[in-house]
Chain A
Amino acid sequence: GNSVTQMEGPVTLSEEAFLTINCTYTATGYPSLFWYVQYPGEGLQLLLKATKADDKGSNKGFEATYRKETTSFHLEKGSVQVSDSAVYFCASNTGNQFYFGTGTSLTVIP
């Protein structure tokens, strides 16, 4: 069946550090892939997406590349800021069936 697995947190980084949050998926067919961000007390917001293999999604300095060969969609940012502190969710969509990872909490300290 379909599923999404992402690295467990919490992750704590110093400002300007490099961020990687790993995400892998299993799917029948070819899903679309997403990263969502949830700031404290708010709903989930779409951060970036990729709809086919080798697509790179990017937004606000975050990037993720759809890797079909490794079934991965790792989230990266070269230099994190305190304002990036949030929970990040990886998700897949096949035929309007969405599958979410368990979320990774990120705290960036000054």
Chain B
Amino acid sequence: DTAVSQTPKYLVTQMGNDKSIKCEQNLGHDTMYWYKQDSKKFLKIMFSYNNKELIINETVPNRFSPKSPDKAHLNLHINSLELGDSAVYFCASSRQGDSPLHFGNGTRLTVT
């Protein structure tokens, strides 16, 4: 069974559209994250939720809105997509304490 799964794997859309990426983890972890990876492989934290509560909200345009219906799910909705939003978005989860992050396989978003 996949531990952290995100859908879709690929997302191609036009500027100005609204899209969502879904993420689910079956590890029983309390904390979930969204990361953005640019073309140079640099990883940037976007959001972090702990038990459905937002705990990290980095400087991200408010066009990006995370939603956590329960602690196993953290979805990312993006409004009015821009060319610069093209990247690979990774969902991840972790347990409290010293535990490592577990990543999904990523969603490659291409905005044309």
Contacts and interface: CB of A to CB of B under 8 A. Distances in A.
Interface of A: 32, 34, 36, 38, 42-46, 49, 51, 87, 89, 91, 93, 96-98, 100, 102-103, 105
Given A96-B31, A96-B48, A103-B41, A43 B100 contact: no
A102 B42 CA distance: 5
Interface residues of B, number: 24
A46 B102 contact: yes
29 contacts: A32-B100, A36-B103, A38-B41, A42-B105, A43-B90, A43-B104, A43-B105, A43-B106, A44-B90, A45-B103, A46-B100, A46-B101, A46-B102, A49-B100, A89-B43, A93-B94, A93-B98, A93-B99, A93-B100, A93-B101, A96-B31, A96-B48, A96-B96, A96-B97, A98-B45, A98-B94, A100-B43, A103-B43, A105-B41
A30 B58 CA distance: 23
Given A34-B100, A43-B106, A46-B100, A96 B90 contact: no
Interface of B: 31, 33, 40-43, 45, 48, 50, 55-56, 90, 94, 96-106
Contacts of A98: 33, 45, 94, 101
Rank and list the top 7 A-B pairs by shortest CB-CB distance, nearest first.
A32-B98, A43-B103, A103-B41, A43-B105, A44-B103, A100-B43, A51-B98
Contacts of B90: 43-44
B110 to A, nearest CB: 14
A49 B31 CA distance: 19
Contacts of A44: 43, 90, 101, 103
